[in-house]
Amino acid sequence: MTMPEIEILGAGVFGLAIAYACLRKGARVRVLEKRRVAAGSSGGVVGALAPHTPDNWNEKKQFQFDSLIAAQDFWSDVDALSGVRSGYGRNGRLMAIADDRQLELARARVESARHNWKGLAEWQVIPVSEAGPFAPVSPTGYVVHETLSARMSPRGACTSLAGAVRALGGEIVEGTTRDMTRGQGADATILCTGYEGLEELSRELGAPIGKGIKGQGLLLAHDAHDMPQLFADGRHIIPHANATVAIGSTTENEWDDPVSVDDQLDAIHEHAVEICPVLHGAKVLQRWAGVRPRGRRRAPILDRHPLRENVYIANGGFKIGFGMAVKVAQVMADLVIDGKADIPASFTLAANMG
Ligand X SMILES: Cc1cc2nc3c(=O)[nH]c(=O)nc-3n(C[C@H](O)[C@H](O)[C@H](O)COP(=O)(O)OP(=O)(O)OC[C@H]3O[C@@H](n4cnc5c(N)ncnc54)[C@H](O)[C@@H]3O)c2cc1C
Chain residue at closest Cβ approach to ligand X: 321
Q: What is the distance between the alpha carbons of residues 224 and 241, in angstroms, rounded to a whole number? A: 8
Q: Which of residues 265-294 bind ligand X (CB under 6 A)?
A: 290, 292-293
Q: What is the distance between the alpha carbons of residues 247 and 276, in angstroms, rounded to a whole number? A: 11
Q: 34, 107, 304, 308: which one contacts ligand X (CB under 6 A)?
A: 34
Q: How far is the CB of 17 from ligand X (least distance, A)?
A: 8
Q: What is the distance between the alpha carbons of residues 82 and 223, in angstroms, rounded to a whole number? A: 26
Q: 54, 163, 228, 321: which one contacts ligand X (CB under 6 A)?
A: 321
Contact status: 142 vs ligand X (CB under 6 A) = no
Q: What is the distance between the alpha carbons of residues 29 and 19, in angstroms, rounded to a whole number? A: 6
Q: 89, 92, 248, 295: which one contacts ligand X (CB under 6 A)?
A: 248
* 314 in Cβ contact with 302 (< 8 Å): yes
Contact status: 165 vs ligand X (CB under 6 A) = no
Three-point CA angle 65, 68, 69, nearest 5°:
85
Run of H or E including 330: helix 321-333
Measured from the CB atom, the residue of 13 and 94 that comes closer to ligand X is 13
Query: Where does 25-153 have alpha helices with state H?
Result: 59-82, 100-116
Per-residue binder mask for ligand X (CB under 6 A), 300-319, x = binder? ---------------x-xxx
Q: 47, 51, 163, 295: which one contacts ligand X (CB under 6 A)?
A: 47
Q: How far is the CB of 241 from ligand X (least distance, A)?
A: 15
Q: 4, 15, 87, 170: which one contacts ligand X (CB under 6 A)?
A: 15
Q: How far is the CB of 52 from ligand X (least distance, A)?
A: 12
Contact status: 229 vs ligand X (CB under 6 A) = no
Cα 341 to Cα 15, 83, 285, 330, distances in angstroms: 17, 31, 42, 9
Per-residue binder mask for ligand X (CB under 6 A), 171-210, x = binder? ------x--------------xxx-xx-------------
The total of other beta-carbon atoms located within 10 Å of residue 81's CB is 17
Long-range interactions of 72-79: CB distance < 8 A, separation 24+: 72/150, 74/326, 75/152, 75/157, 75/160, 77/164, 78/20, 78/157, 78/160, 78/161, 78/164, 79/160, 79/164
Closest C-alpha to 186, from 305, 304, 311:
311
Q: 42, 116, 138, 159: which one contacts ligand X (CB under 6 A)?
A: 42
Contact status: 92 vs ligand X (CB under 6 A) = no
Radius of gyration of the chain measured on its C-alpha atoms: 20
Contact status: 295 vs ligand X (CB under 6 A) = no
Binding site for ligand X (CB under 6 A): 9-15, 32-35, 39-42, 44, 46-49, 177, 192-194, 196-197, 215-217, 236, 248-249, 290, 292-293, 315, 317-323
